[in-house]
Amino acid sequence: MPSLRAHVYRVAAQGPDDTSGVEALFAAGLAAKNVVAILGKTEGNGCVNDFSRGYATRSFETLFRQHGADGVSLVMSGGTEGALSPHWTVFAREVVDAPAERALAIGVARTPSLPAQHLGRREQVLLVAEAVRVDAGIDDPSDVHFVQIKCPLLTLSRISAAEAEGKTLATRDTLKSMGLSRGASALGVAVALGEVDGGTLRDTDICYSHELFSHRASASAGVELTDHEIIVLGMSDRWSGPLAIDHAVMRDAVDVAAVREAYERLPANSRLAAVLAKAEPDPTGKIRGKRHTMLDDSDISGTRHARAFVGGVLAGLFGITDLYVSGGAEHQGPPGGGPVAIIVEKEH
């Protein structure tokens, strides 16, 4: 009886335009039409003017066009500080002639473009929540382990256009708009998965009511889009194959114990397929009672410090540096912490 099967590949990148590793996968038999998403870590600064994300997106759009494939979600996260290695994580799915069993399931969705005046507000939360409820064959929300979102930000031109129409924006600060967009997107995941009551949520909760958060959301903002690209990862009894996923929530940037526990829940003697994580500087200015200076550095954004720090913590646990660690975890786990998803391939 046919079922859906997921595939996950980690591919090294020599630069934001290096699609050669994915082309090699195609040459080895992966059908381009089966690829549904690529998560990329590019070596830009991860801030508003990180055009490495758009460069990578355009390079992959060209590649897939050459192979007659479209609709692939391209989620590029800038910033490979520390020893994080630039790479692509490729997600594919196909119909196979095999009985369904409990396995990794992948769902993808895309929202309409977000009007600038709705960014960082309840309208953005509800827009994302509706799209997260994608049919990935995951019947129980508790089986969802990670929701990756690429969300928009405000640029000066977008701000000017909206204000020319008489619209009032949540912020005129382009960098602050990244945090507001990530936070609203994460709360959209929380609403969709029943972690937060969308009916009582207010605009003023976004990036202020830190007790409201999702245990499974990961949001990355970029200048290269005006809508939201959404990837839902979880376990389903209607899929098949050797891949499995679990997640942990780091309570702070050194909470390796929670991640180890999640890793140990997965099948033993499995091959590590991917690690996806969020990181942010603890807003209290302390980690386990000790002062940190990530938020006091006027030269380097705190999100860059956090990516490097958490990337090092996770690299020490897993023994790899091609980790998808995204900075800025507003409402993505508790303040100073963040979700971590682990995907493994079971032995045949």
Q: Cα(231)–Cα(91) distance, rounded to whole angstroms?
A: 10
Torsions phi, psi for 68 (to 5 deg): 70, 25
Q: Is the pLDDT of residue 214 over 90?
A: yes
162 marked among binding-site residues: no
For residues 166 and 209, membership in a common domain is answered with: yes
Q: Of 195, 217, 241, which residue sits at a domain end?
A: 241
326 marked among binding-site residues: yes
For residues 181 and 198, membership in a common domain is answered with: yes
CATH of the domain at 116: 3.30.1330.180
Band (pLDDT 50/70/90 cuts) for residue 224 is: confident
User: What pLDDT is stored for residue 133 in this prediction?
Assistant: 83
For residues 49 and 182, membership in a common domain is answered with: no
For residues 104 and 231, membership in a common domain is answered with: yes
For residues 218 and 320, membership in a common domain is answered with: no
Host domain of residue 138: 100-241
For residues 231 and 125, membership in a common domain is answered with: yes
Q: Is the pLDDT of residue 135 over 80?
A: no
Q: Of 195, 226, 241, which residue sits at a domain end?
A: 241
How many independent structural domains does the chain possess? 3
For residues 55 and 138, membership in a common domain is answered with: no
For residues 343 and 281, membership in a common domain is answered with: yes
For residues 202 and 187, membership in a common domain is answered with: yes
User: What pLDDT is stored for residue 139 in this prediction?
Assistant: 87
78 marked among binding-site residues: yes
Band (pLDDT 50/70/90 cuts) for residue 348 is: low
Q: Of 226, 241, 256, which residue sits at a domain end?
A: 241
The 10s digit of each residue's pLDDT in 48-79 is 888 999 999 999 999 999 999 999 999 999 99
**Model confidence pTM above 0.85:** yes
Q: Cα(327)–Cα(268) distance, rounded to whole angstroms?
A: 30
Band (pLDDT 50/70/90 cuts) for residue 322 is: very high
User: What pLDDT is stored for residue 305 in this prediction?
Assistant: 96
329 marked among binding-site residues: yes
Segment 88-93 shows an average pLDDT of 98
For residues 92 and 209, membership in a common domain is answered with: no
For residues 123 and 166, membership in a common domain is answered with: yes
User: What pLDDT is stored for residue 48 in this prediction?
Assistant: 86
- Written as six digits, the tokens of 230 are 């959404």
CATH of the domain at 265: 3.30.1330.160
Q: Which residue has the higher pLDDT, 49 or 331?
A: 331
Cβ(238)–Cβ(105) below 8 Å: yes
For residues 106 and 93, membership in a common domain is answered with: no
Burial of 174 (0-12, 13-18, 19+ CB in 10 A): middle
The percent of residues above 90 in pLDDT, for the chain, comes to 94
Q: Is the pLDDT of residue 195 over 70?
A: yes
CATH of the domain at 10: 3.30.1330.170
Segment 310-327 shows an average pLDDT of 97
The percent of residues above 70 in pLDDT, for the chain, comes to 100
234 marked among binding-site residues: no
Band (pLDDT 50/70/90 cuts) for residue 46 is: confident
Token pair 């970029």 in the structure block, residue: 222
CA angle 25, 42, 339 (to 5 degrees): 95
Q: Is the pLDDT of residue 347 over 90?
A: no
Mean pLDDT score across all residues of the chain: 96
Active-site residues, by number, are: 150, 220
User: What pLDDT is stored for residue 297 in this prediction?
Assistant: 94
Q: Is the pLDDT of residue 331 over 80?
A: yes
